[in-house]
Amino acid sequence: MDQVEEIKERVNIVDIIGERIELKKAGKNFKALCPFHQEKTPSFMVSPDLQIYKCFGCGESGDVFSFLEKYEGMSFFEALSYLAERLGIKLKSINLAKSDKKVRLYELNQLTSRFYNYVLLEHKTGKGALSYLLEKRGLKLDTIKKFNLGFSPRESSALFNFLIKKKGFTKEELLESGTFYPKGNALFDRFAGRVIFPIYDHRDNVVAFGGRILPDDERKDLAKYINSPETLVYKKSHILYGLNFAKEHIKREGFVVITEGELDMISSYQAGVKNTVAVKGSALTEDQAKLLLRFTENFVFAYDTDSAGVTAVKRGAVVAQKLGAVLKAAVLGEYKDPDDMARSNPKRFKEAVFGAVSIWDFLIDLVFRQNNPSTGEGKAKISKELKPVLARIEDKIVQAHYARLVAEKLSVPVSAVFEELGKEESKTTVQVQKTSVLLKKLSRRVLLEEKLLAFVLQRTPELLFDESITSLFISRPYKKLIESFCAYNKEGKNFDLRLFFKRLPPELSQAFSAIFLYEIDIPPEDKEVVKKEIEALVVDLKKEIVKENLESLVRKMKEAEKNKDKEALASLKREFAQKTEELSALNGADVVV
């Protein structure tokens, strides 16, 4: 047995998935709300017997490796290493890491981060940057060490030589990391002369860097802040700065504070509000919101109080609301951003965060503070800004509450607000959420075949040798699955579920996992109830077959009439009458299997 198989045999997929989403027992299996698409009724099933999962809503399925790859964004080697470490297995194929580009980039970024941190804390080159962080930004030395902040020297050769000559990386890998860019035949550090903020994913991998120019830097044409470009390991819309440090505090406090920049997050953390993250960009993205929802459904926005910050709050609130988050906002008062407030008045910052108000109250109050509601011009501006905000409140009761509140503040009839909302909603394009797999519209016959096969396979597999049952199936995967099951059992072996599953070709293993994970709410010991359910399904399937025959006969009769083929038409009518009688009998009689 190779190490991959050994790990698959020893790991429990229920434990791995159960640590990430809430699983509930469902017979032999477990079920949950699918982590890969939005749903209100659980359709995500996990089998401890087969060590697989499948969502009957979006179609996602696989084993423990594919789950970690999809849910955590791990490469196969990362998932293998993670599981091996959990099980205490030492991987023999050490060279496999060198062939995994993501692992190599993580390693390169980690070493780069250590280099920058050394320059900041230990080398004379970083003295000015360290002074800036300690004195101008109010960071403590312990905080700087905690977040592994650094400084990149103006001369790129030191880092280049460290990575190439001492650590054995290639020029191609330096370029792939995004830290270096080419100029002529040479490579240059894009962060040269900047204070460095290593950017981690939620699993503590260094995936990118942020760099801030020092205030006294004479290169005035440079942007104040820059970030790594997107790479194999860094997707800006997927990453939340500081989540690796904050995630346990988020769980403990029961909510997350969302800020805009690295220093907002770091200053908040230093002030004692450790359940804080920062978005990379301005507005919270859907992927970032989904990531946060793994840890809490309660979001508190603490953005800059300028117009850009307010716009970002509006956009982020719409995204998070659609995913089911509970939204609030911290009122920062006269402070321009969380960094300013956390450094100037930590106690008041904590009060603002823990006393956060509803996001809708926050936005409405802000708009009214910025405009004069007693003038026509002010009313027009307030209406323009608040119409899209109110229109995006999905809960109609909540929307009605705030519509009345706005009407009172504007001293206008509430009917006028509702009329404007109606106009706004009618011109709003409804965004249809797409799942990663297009849902296939199945015919009623296929659905009945699926349910019948699930009942038979899970409760009375001996019926798979009954031709009166198996002859009803026309779906190719199900027919092949029945044939494989019968052939396996004819070998005279004791039925080994996992071995049978492993021997199936990919197209049949998919069908088998779907059938085996099909949720049946009748306990196996209720044999009489199971028997009656199977009998009813057989009758329903026979009805569906007769209905399909009748539809086919109708088409053929129309064709015969068109061709004026009286003989064929008479024969088809007789057959139609016969099938109609069959359907009538199935509708009225108790059919026994």
For residue 572 the two structure tokens come to: 């088809």
Indicate the DSSP class of residue 19: T
Residue 98 identity (one-letter amino acid): K
Residue 88 lies in a domain: yes
Q: Taking the model in full, what pTM does it have?
A: 0.71
Q: What is the pLDDT of residue 571?
A: 92
Which residues, 6+ apart, have CB-to-CB distance to 474 below 8 Å? 445, 449
Element (H or E) spanning 357, and its range?
strand 357-358
Residue found by looking up tokens 């088409």 in the block? 555
Mean pLDDT of 349-368: 93
Same domain, residue pair 295 and 396:
no
Same domain, residue pair 356 and 381:
no
Residue found by looking up tokens 């809490």 in the block? 296
Same domain, residue pair 308 and 221:
no
Which residues, 6+ apart, have CB-to-CB distance to 191 below 8 Å? 116, 152, 179, 209, 211, 226
CATH number at residue 44: 3.90.580.10
Same domain, residue pair 143 and 186:
yes
Same domain, residue pair 90 and 104:
no
Contact call for residues 214 and 193 (beta carbons, < 8 A): yes
Query: 382 φ, ψ to 5°?
Result: -65, -45
Same domain, residue pair 485 and 552:
yes
Residue 290 lies in a domain: yes
Is residue 589 over pLDDT 60?
A: no
Mean pLDDT of 272-278: 97
For residue 184, is it left (φ>0), alpha (ψ between -120 and 50) or beta?
Answer: left
Contact call for residues 119 and 156 (beta carbons, < 8 A): no
Is residue 263 over pLDDT 90?
A: yes
Sort 485 into a burial class: Cβ within 10 Å, 0-12 / 13-18 / 19+.
buried
Contact call for residues 416 and 409 (beta carbons, < 8 A): no
Same domain, residue pair 9 and 31:
yes
Same domain, residue pair 323 and 256:
yes
Sort 249 into a burial class: Cβ within 10 Å, 0-12 / 13-18 / 19+.
middle
Mean pLDDT of 336-364: 94
3-state secondary structure of 25: strand
Residue 439 lies in a domain: no
**Strand arrangement, sheet containing 150-151:** 150-151, 194-200, 206-213, 225-227
Q: Which domain holds residue 197?
A: 100-234
Residue range 388-443, pLDDT digits in tens: 888 888 888 888 898 899 988 998 888 888 888 877 766 544 333 333 333 333 46
Residue range 216-225, pLDDT digits in tens: 888 878 899 9
Q: How many CB atoms lie within 10 A of CB 410?
A: 19
Same domain, residue pair 298 and 224:
no
What is d(CA 485, CA 96) in angstroms, rounded to the nearest whole number? 37
List the beta bridge partners of residue 578: none
3-state secondary structure of 196: strand
Going 390 to 396 to 399 to 403, the CA torsion angle's sign is positive
Confidence band of 250 (pLDDT split at 50, 70, 90)? very high
Mean pLDDT of 117-124: 96
Residue 281 lies in a domain: yes
For residue 511 the two structure tokens come to: 């069908």
Same domain, residue pair 339 and 263:
yes
CATH number at residue 520: 1.10.860
Indicate the DSSP class of residue 435: P
